[in-house]
Chain A
Amino acid sequence: MSDSHVDATTEEEFTPRGTIAVVGLFVASLVLLWMSIYLILIARGVTI
Chain B
Amino acid sequence: MLTQESVYEVTQQDRRFVGAHLLVAIAALSVGSLFGPLQAFEWSGLDLYGLLEPIGLGDYYKGLTIHGVLNALVWTTFFITGFFTLVMIAGLKRPLRYPGLNRAGFYTMVVGLVMAAIPILTGAASVLYTFYPPLQASWAFYLGLTLVVVGSWIEGYGFYLTMAEWRRDNPHTRSPFIVLAALITMVMWQIATLGIAVEILTMLLPAALGLIDGTDPELGRTLFWFTGHPLVYFWLLPAYLSWYGMLPKQAGGKLFSDTLARLAFWLFLLLSIPVGFHHQFADPGVPVGWKYIHSILTYGVAFPSMLTLFTVVASLEYAARKRGGQGLLGWIRALPWGNPVVSAQLLAGILFMFGGIGGITNASYSVNLVIHNTAWVPGHFHLTVASAVTLSFFGISYWLIPYVTGKPLWKEKWATVVNWTWFVGMMIFSNAMHVLGLLGAPRRTELGQAPYVPDEWSGHLFRMSVGGAILLVGVALFVVIAARTAFQKERFGPGEGVEFPIAVSMRDPQLTPLWLDRFKPWLIATVVLIVVAYGPQLFEQFSNASFNSPPISP
B351-369 toward A: CB 8 Å interface, digit per residue (1/0)?
Answer: 0010011001100101100
A18 touches B367 (CB 8 A): no
CB-nearest residue of chain A to B322 = A14
A-B contact count (CB 8 A): 80
Q: Which residue of B lies closest to A11 (CB)?
A: B507
Beyond A11-B506, A18-B329, whether A29 also contacts B314 by CB under 8 A is: no
Check: A45 CB closer than 8 A to any chain B CB.
no
- A21 interface contact, C-beta 8 A: yes
Q: Mark B506-535, 1 if CB is under 8 A from A, else 0.
A: 111011001000000000000000000000
B55 at the interface (CB under 8 A from A): no
Cα A18 to Cα B364 with chains together (Å): 30
Which residues of B are found within 8 Å of A23, using beta-carbon distances?
306, 309-310, 313
B230-274 vs A, CB cutoff 8 Å, 1 = contact: the mask equals 000000000000000000000000101000000000000000000
Interface centre among A6, A7, A22, A38 (most CB of B within 10 A): A22
Q: How near does chain A come to B105, taking the closest CB pair, in angstroms?
A: 34
- B328 pairs with A41, CB closer than 8 A: no
Q: Is B489 part of the binding interface, using a Cβ–Cβ cutoff of 8 Å? A: no
Q: Which of B317, B321, B360, B370 has the most CB of A within 10 A?
A: B317
- B331: Cβ under 8 A from any A Cβ: yes
A33 to chain B, nearest CB (A): 5
- Asked whether, in the complex, the Cβ of B511 is within 8 Å of the Cβ of A18, the reply is no
Binding site secondary structure of chain A: helix
B270 CB, nearest partner CB in chain A, Å:
22
Binary interface encoding of chain B residues 37-76 relative to chain A, with 1 for a CB under 8 A from any of its CBs, else 0: 0000000000000000000000000000000000000000
In chain B, what residue has the closest Cβ to A41?
A: B370
Interface residues on B, range: 20 to 34
A3, A16, A38, A41: the one contacting B313 at CB < 8 Å is A16
Q: Which of A18-48 contact B (CB under 8 A)?
A: 18-19, 21-23, 26, 29-30, 33-34, 37-38, 40-41
Which residue on B lies nearest to A6, using beta carbons?
A: B510
| B35 within 8 Å of A (CB atoms) | no
- Given A16-B313, A17-B328, A18-B317, A30 and B357 contact (CB-CB distance below 8 Å): yes
Indicate which residue in A8, A18, A40, A41 contacts B331 across the interface (CB closer than 8 Å).
A18
**What CA separation (Å) do A37 and B329 show in the bound complex?**
28
When distances are taken between beta carbons in the complex, the residues of chain B under 8 Å from A8 are: 511
| B104 at the binding interface (Cβ < 8 Å) | no
Bin the interface of chain A by size. Answer: 20 to 34
Which residue of the partner chain B has the closest CB to A40? B438
Establish whether residues A29 and B310, one from each chain, have CB atoms under 8 Å apart when the complex forms.
Answer: no
CA distance A7 to B313 in the complex (A): 26
25 A/B residue pairs, CB under 8 Å, sorted by A: A2-B172, A3-B511, A3-B514, A6-B508, A6-B511, A11-B508, A14-B314, A14-B321, A17-B328, A18-B313, A18-B320, A18-B331, A18-B332, A19-B317, A21-B328, A23-B310, A26-B309, A26-B356, A29-B357, A30-B357, A33-B361, A34-B357, A34-B360, A37-B361, A41-B367
Chain B residues within 8 Å of A, Cβ to Cβ: 172-173, 254, 256, 306, 309-310, 313-314, 317-318, 320-321, 327-329, 331-332, 353, 356-357, 360-361, 364, 366-367, 370, 438, 506-508, 510-511, 514
